[in-house]
């Protein structure tokens, strides 16, 4: 079985990264993580990044660089972590997909519960080099 592909958006502002609490219609509702979503057929990773961020939090972003890859905790998806710069704008959350959103430091991320174990190395090892 081929692994499904998904994008993770690393949006930073003023030394913080955007994380969302997954909404009632999302898979793994209630978990805190950066905005993310699966790649559609024929879609590139940067295209998926722009689309998912717009759908989930209403921001228009410019893709930056791919900074990390990992598997989801259950191994179903390969996650491609991309930085993106968010143009100015207020968050406009999709109520089905996103229950809440916060700009957090790595330390603040670890205070949120629950989070995905597979995301922890990003916040420990990768994010500090990006801020």
**What is the domain partition of the chain in residue ranges?**
4-118
pLDDT-derived band at 45 (thresholds 50, 70, 90) equals: very high
Could you tell me the pTM of the whole model?
Answer: 0.94
pLDDT at 14: 87
Please determine, for residue 41, whether its predicted confidence score (pLDDT) is greater than 70: yes
Class of domain 4-118 (CATH, top level): alpha beta
Residue 26 structure tokens: 């999302």
Q: How far is CA 42 from CA 39, 61, 68, 120, in A?
A: 8, 20, 21, 30
Q: How many other β-carbons are positioned within 10 Å of the β-carbon of residue 43? A: 15
pLDDT at 87: 64
- The mean per-residue pLDDT over the stretch 17-31 comes to 96
pLDDT-derived band at 1 (thresholds 50, 70, 90) equals: low
């Amino acid at each position: 079985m081929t692994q499904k592909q998904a994008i993770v958006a690393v949006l930073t502002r003023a030394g913080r990264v955007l994380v969302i609490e997954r909404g009632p219609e999302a898979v793994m509702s209630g978990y805190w993580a950066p905005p993310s979503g699966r790649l559609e057929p024929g879609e590139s990773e940067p295209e998926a990044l722009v689309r998912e961020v717009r759908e989930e939090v209403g921001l228009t972003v410019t893709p930056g660089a791919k900074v990390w890859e990992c598997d989801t905790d259950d191994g179903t998806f390969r996650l491609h972590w991309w930085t993106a710069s968010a143009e100015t704008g207020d968050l406009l959350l999709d109520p089905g997909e996103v229950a809440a959103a916060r700009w957090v430091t790595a330390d603040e991320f670890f205070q949120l519960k629950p989070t995905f174990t597979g995301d922890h190395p990003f916040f420990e090892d990768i994010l500090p080099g990006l801020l």
